[in-house]
Amino acid sequence: MTSPSLPWRGPGNDRPGLPLPPGPMPLRRDGQLRKRWRYVGVFAPEVMLCAAVAEVGPLGQSFWVMWDREGRRHDARTMLRPGSSEVTLDGPRLEIDSPNLRASLRLGQALPIETICPSGSGWGWTRKRAGVPIEGTVEVPGRRWEVSARGVDDESAGYHQRHTSWRWSAGVGRAEDGRRLAWNLVEGVNDPIERSERAVWVDGEPLEPAPVRFRGMDGIDLHGEDRLDFASESAHARDENFLLIRSRYRHRFGTFSGTLAGMSLAEGFGVMEEHDAVW
């Protein structure tokens, strides 16, 4: 049964008494399988990269997507083998050891937001950090980058309802007055009117905006005059059907323009995502 104290937003010492990371979480609760994942995105002017590890019940996978903005080269790989070591996400360390990509990156500090929101008879937990400093190396055949960029760190887990569908965007940028901006915006999951996972970071300080509306994969309308327009540069798609578990996933890297938190963007880099899952 969902806790009556939800939705909850932190961080804080008053988290509801539910099985939550970093503690143990049973494989099944309230009739729903446990889902958990971690996604890290790196948004640099020269290269964009994401890597993730995910579990739905006993099934697991990992994947990475890379976009070489200068060479206009896209590559991606998904691993369905349990225990695959091609993607390692361990605390502040991200390592990728794949035939077409090697990366060794370290995440710095950034203020997080944390939420727990109802999802059918279950609930979803997430901890998001956007504007995270990320440094290290990324290497593909014939090319190597020394990366000093910012990005996003998404840790999520819970017992989401059987059919869950959402649109999500995360990115980093700079306002025309020089202030650092970053965002995590969502529609369809963890998005109650208040105490949602929506967040905009201004010079590293997170604020919660009002509910947003996605214009497909073309942009996002925020409260008042704020809006983000998206110019897609690289598209990744994956459809999976394991009978009881199915998903349709669309992921795009690109650039953003518009206004955020009342400020005009001088530049913006990030991701737009659509995910429809029966899990």
Residue pLDDT, tens place only, 63-72: 999 999 999 9
**CA geometry: angle at 226 spanning 222 and 232, to 5°?**
80
pLDDT in tens, 182-241: 999 999 999 999 999 999 999 999 999 999 999 999 999 999 999 999 999 999 999 999
Which pLDDT value is given to residue 193? 98
What is the pairing mode between strands 143-158 and 163-175?
unpaired
Q: Is the pLDDT of residue 82 over 70?
A: no
Task: Say whether pLDDT at 83 is over 80.
Answer: no
The predicted-structure confidence for 230-253, as pLDDT tens digits, reads as follows 999 999 999 999 888 999 999 999
Whether pTM exceeds 0.85: yes
Task: Give the single-character DSSP code of 215.
Answer: -
- The contacts of residue 48 (CB under 8 Å, 6+ apart) are 41, 42, 66, 67, 69, 234, 253, 269, 271
Question: In this prediction, what percent of the chain has a pLDDT beyond 90?
Answer: 94
| pLDDT, mean of residues 21-47 | 96
Q: What percent of the chain clears pLDDT 70, i.e. is strictly above it? A: 98
For residues 36 and 94, give the distance between their C-alpha atoms in angstroms, rounded to a whole number: 17
- From the number of C-beta atoms within 10 Å of its C-beta (0-12, 13-18, 19+), residue 179 rates as middle
| CA-wise closest residue to 120 among 184, 233, 229, 31 | 31
DSSP one-letter code for 32 = E
